[in-house]
């Protein structure tokens, strides 16, 4: 569920299948402005070089929505446990209720570290390279195991660029807690998708 400072409330229901790094999902989003949008997605991890010193992965994704939206991305990851990523995302520019923080038509670069037990620290920059908006997001993300099979996720976001009502320069965040069978997330996204709205998102789910 998401809400904004203008009183707009939306709901997003998703069913996700995951196996060996591959994800397939189907979702329905609805609010009183966008109406109802059915969407589906796919992402995967393809090992191009299985080397303990310098492994290489290709990470593709695809998104579809009922309004005719089509989008996708491609990311190359090199190295372990310290790694670097370069990526690009493209859409057909059709209307889409984007619940992601980041621009869809953009290039990305990141540096990170992956440790034992799901530990991860990542710095990520995503920047519009198609529409001339100068929109850019910078993320600092931490995933860390806790006691009793719990895991903490924290994401600090800075965004800047030209928005719907002028320049944007602000901060957002996400906090999440994962258990073996459930998860919960709370996020604050000021100037959502570079609009005039400040959004809050709460999500929870169960694995089976």
Structural domain boundaries in the chain: 46-206
Give the model confidence (pLDDT) of 140-197 as tens digits.
999 999 998 899 999 999 999 999 999 999 999 999 999 999 999 999 999 998 999 8
- For the record, the structure tokens of 120 come out as 């991860």
What pTM value is reported for the model?
Answer: 0.91
Give the model confidence (pLDDT) of 52-71 as tens digits.
889 999 999 999 999 899 99
Distance CA 11, CA 192 (A): 16
Distance CA 164, CA 190 (A): 13
**Confidence class of residue 73 from pLDDT cuts 50, 70 and 90?**
very high
Distance CA 178, CA 169 (A): 30
Distance CA 67, CA 86 (A): 29
Q: What are phi and psi of 204, to 5 degrees?
A: -150, 150
Distance CA 149, CA 123 (A): 25
């Amino acid at each position: 569920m998401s809400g904004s400072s203008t009183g707009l409330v939306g709901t997003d229901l998703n069913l996700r299948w995951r196996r060996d790094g591959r994800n397939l999902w189907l979702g329905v989003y609805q609010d009183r402005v966008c109406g109802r949008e059915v969407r589906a997605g796919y992402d995967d991890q393809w090992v191009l070089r299985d080397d303990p010193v310098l492994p290489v992965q290709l990470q593709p994704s695809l998104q579809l929505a009922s309004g005719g939206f089509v989008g996708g991305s491609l990311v190359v990851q090199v190295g372990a446990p310290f790694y670097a990523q370069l990526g690009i995302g493209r859409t057909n520019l059709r209307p889409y209720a984007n619940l992601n923080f980041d621009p869809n038509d953009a290039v990305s670069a990141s540096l990170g570290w992956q440790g034992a037990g799901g530990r991860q620290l990542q710095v990520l920059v995503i920047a519009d390279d198609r529409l001339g908006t100068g929109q850019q997001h910078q993320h600092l993300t931490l995933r860390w195991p806790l006691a009793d099979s719990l895991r903490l996720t924290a994401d600090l976001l800075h965004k800047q660029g030209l928005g719907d009502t002028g320049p944007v320069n602000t901060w957002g965040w996400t906090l999440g807690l994962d258990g073996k069978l459930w998860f919960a997330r709370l996020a604050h996204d000021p100037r959502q998708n570079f609009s005039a709205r400040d959004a809050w998102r709460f999500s929870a789910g169960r694995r089976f």
